[in-house]
Structure 1
Amino acid sequence: MAPLYALGCEGSANKLGIGVVSHDPATNKTRILSNVRHTFNSPPGTGFLPKDTAAHHRAHFVSVAREALKTAGLTSPKDLSCICYTRGPGMGAPLTSTAIGARTLALLWGLDMVGVNHCVGHIEMGRVITGADNPVVLYVSGGNTQVIAYAEQRYRIFGETLDIAVGNCIDRFARTLNIPNDPFPGYNVEQLAKKAFFEEDGVTKREPVLLDLPYAVKGMDCSFSGILGAADLLAAQMRKQDALLASGGTLKEGEERITPQDLCFTLQETVYAMLVEITERAMAHVGSKQVLVVGGVGCNERLQAMMGLMARDRGGSVYATDERFCIDNGIMIGLAGLLAWETGFRTPFEDSTCTQRFRTDDVHISWRSD
């Protein structure tokens, strides 16, 4: 049997990603032929609104799709088996804009459509890139935070956020500090956190200051909204200190000066420690020694390091990818969709809709039988 090809279209948030992926059922080999992405960025201190993000996706869909097909080197769109798109979860307007683009291509070229769960796409791409066999999955992004393990053709959720996602917590705190959104706010928060280990000259080392923030682990679940609120209060206190010092005043005796670097360091250490705790508990429950970190926040080097220390203490290992694959992209949607298509799954055109709420454990993982 010859390799099969799929075009994947992802647009659940501010990144429009389109790519071509191939899978050979005979050898179970996967090849990435193209992975094109275009990001909508808003000014520092602001977030991205659904209507503006949707307009961005509509404006760039055709050019990104053309580049993906050209880079893949396909002689004809007819070489594709199916068009895959993100059905959810995500932001409603961007999801809809991308789905309309995918539906147009499928109708134009006479191809099947496959609606894909965004999280399942992350997991399948992570498994292929890292070679992780049957890991506990930590899925962390701007819109989702879940601890997952596979059982009986479902990705079962063992723990999750009770309010906002960890990525949303970090992104919103970046707005509080007026940190730029380019290339993405979480990355810039991470770079500031690294500077907490140095004095202002960037050379002289120091002990980073760990400020007091809530630690909100509730069984297997986490809560991040209270942490964000407390971090915002510390940021307000920092601004008062800066104003006092700028006017020639001095801090109270024994009062530590708060810096953006220490704030970012503290936020990362707190929320990532929470994620490591619930992931370790899930590993103990299912008897796994592998951890796979997926989603945009999974690019964070500090999270990977903390998870790696925990995994090694348990005699295990951690698997993660770089920004090409952990940040939202089209090939992860193409891969998960193609695997489903091979087992006979199709999304009828009249059902090629989107939903902002699409549970990871709602998906029948028909291509896995282990």
Structure 2
Amino acid sequence: MVRRRDPLRPPTKPLLALGLEGSANKIGAGVMQHLPDGTTAVLSNVRHTYNPPPGEGFLPRDTAEHHRQWVHKVINDAISKAGISMHDLDCICFTKGPGMGAPLQSVAVVARTLSLLFRKPLIGVNHCIGHIEMGRLITGAQNPVVLYVSGGNTQVIAYSRQRYRIFGETLDIAVGNCLDRFARVIGLSNDPAPGYNIELEAKRGKRLLPLPYATKGMDVSFSGLLMATEAYTTDKRYRASSTGASDEEDIITPADLCYSLQETVFAMLVEITERAMAHIGSKEVLIVGGVGSNVRLQEMMGVMAKERGGLVFAMDERFCIDNGIMIAQAGLLSYRMGFETTLADSTCSQRFRTDEVAVAWRA
């Protein structure tokens, strides 16, 4: 159970929300509770991941089918672990976007059905806002610069006038997508996640190879960097296995490529985050999104923040990687401000911008 006082006026009675997340390859359900004494409690957080075979990505159709197969069990487990019934809920929250169209729609249908069956208000949630609000809740960060890094999103964000403003972002592919695609190129497993396996492989790397460093003002670009890294796999010095190659200085191994790719992309992210900190005068950095659980990224960001007299706030994979409880938290904040999504407006959007959401619960 995680507890922290939230910034809103405490509710007059305990409030319960079920959050449903399914924007990519994870189907998640979580139950969040806000109490009259001003505390917030995570009652359950359950998820299941779709892992395609090595060398393959997850297609929207297959991912949606996975979500349909697992959503009933995931919801039942979340409700059971929370020790409540569906009738106890005050609202049902779901990811409205951004994300992959078919998986988003499959979960939205379930949320709409539950809302009608149990006559509960429906709350559509922006996926990124869910990450940010969960990060603020778990870490205690007050007004940080947010680095949002995941398979589908890369943004540097800061709060101003009831909006989360985007200071910089990727101009092409997201950092998580870059890492995942390279993992497929060199045949790393998708279990538990290709990015995590890149992180493990990078720890064995010994050579920092030259790669394009593409920061453009406050924005970044990863597609050229990915292509340049892939090109090394056709180099005559490349060996698909590092076994026996440790004493040969001219050999390039998969571990070297993972190390070089990871160091370069994270350096780019640290640079634009530091610029945002300098611009708004912040001493806090909050890292959210699936890639945010990468320990090396946290270390590099920590070095930068320490030099500026600041702090880095990060979470482990329970709350960093897509989950239902972050949707429940952001949805319950909206619900407490009087927001409700009508059935007519309960559609999904693959491109739902972070700065489109009115953050009414913050001063």
TM-score for both structures, normalised by structure 1:
0.92
Residue in 2 that maps onto 1:65: 75
* AA partner of residue 32 (structure 1): V
Aligned CA-pair RMSD: 1.6
| Residue 242 (structure 1) shift | 3.6
| Residue 28 (structure 1) shift | 3.2
Of 195, 220, 230, the match for 2:228 = 230
Residue in 2 that maps onto 1:150: 159
SS class of match (1:195): coil
Q: 2: distance between equivalents of 1:7 and 1:28?
A: 19
Of 258, 273, 283, the match for 1:264 = 258
Residue in 2 that maps onto 1:21: 32
Instruction: Determine if contact 2:147/2:285 at 8 Å carries over to the other structure.
Output: yes
1:365 is aligned to 2:363: no
1:322/1:255 Cα in 2 relative to 1: closer, same or farther (>3 Å)? closer
SS class of match (2:235): helix
Q: 2: distance between equivalents of 1:29 and 1:193?
A: 40
Instruction: Determine if contact 2:239/2:253 at 8 Å carries over to the other structure.
Output: no
* AA partner of residue 226 (structure 1): G
1:221 is aligned to 2:231: no
Give deviations 1:153-196, integer Å, cap 9, x for gaps: 00000000000000000000000010000000010000001112
Identity rate of aligned residues, in percent?
65
Give deviations 1:229-260, integer Å, cap 9, x for gaps: 0010012226x6449x99xxx9xxx9721001
Q: 1: distance between equivalents of 2:80 and 2:37?
A: 26
Q: 2: distance between equivalents of 1:242 and 1:11?
A: 38
Give deviations 1:79-122, integer Å, cap 9, x for gaps: 11100000000000000000001111111100000000000000
Correspondence 1:1-370 to 2 at 5 A: 1-24=12-35, 26-74=36-84, 76-196=85-205, 208-237=206-235, 241-242=238-239, 256-369=250-363
Q: 2: distance between equivalents of 1:342 and 1:241?
A: 57
Q: 2: distance between equivalents of 1:255 and 1:62?
A: 53
Q: 2: distance between equivalents of 1:216 and 1:29?
A: 43
* AA partner of residue 102 (structure 1): A
Q: 1: distance between equivalents of 2:233 and 2:211?
A: 12
Q: 1: distance between equivalents of 2:348 and 2:138?
A: 27
Q: 1: distance between equivalents of 2:286 and 2:212?
A: 26
* AA partner of residue 355 (structure 1): S
| Residue 77 (structure 1) shift | 1.4
Give deviations 1:41-61, integer Å, cap 9, x for gaps: 000010000000000001111
* AA partner of residue 368 (structure 1): R
Give deviations 1:303-342, integer Å, cap 9, x for gaps: 0000000000000000000000000000000000000000
TM-score for both structures, normalised by structure 2:
0.94
Residue in 1 that maps onto 2:5: none
Q: 1: distance between equivalents of 2:149 and 2:98?
A: 13
Q: 2: distance between equivalents of 1:327 and 1:241?
A: 33
Q: 2: distance between equivalents of 1:158 and 1:23?
A: 31
Q: 1: distance between equivalents of 2:153 and 2:40?
A: 26
Structure 1: 5+ residue runs without aligned partners?
A: 197-207
Give deviations 1:15-52, integer Å, cap 9, x for gaps: 0000101113x443210000000000000010000000
* AA partner of residue 283 (structure 2): K
Q: 2: distance between equivalents of 1:43 and 1:241?
A: 24
Larger Cα-atom Rg: 1
SS class of match (1:87): strand
Q: 2: distance between equivalents of 1:60 and 1:242?
A: 40
* AA partner of residue 119 (structure 1): C
Q: 2: distance between equivalents of 1:234 and 1:156?
A: 38
SS class of match (1:46): coil
SS class of match (1:22): strand
Q: 1: distance between equivalents of 2:118 and 2:356?
A: 30
Give deviations 1:109-154, integer Å, cap 9, x for gaps: 0000000000000000000000000000000000000000000100
> Where do 4+ consecutive residues of structure 1 move more than 3 Å?
240-243
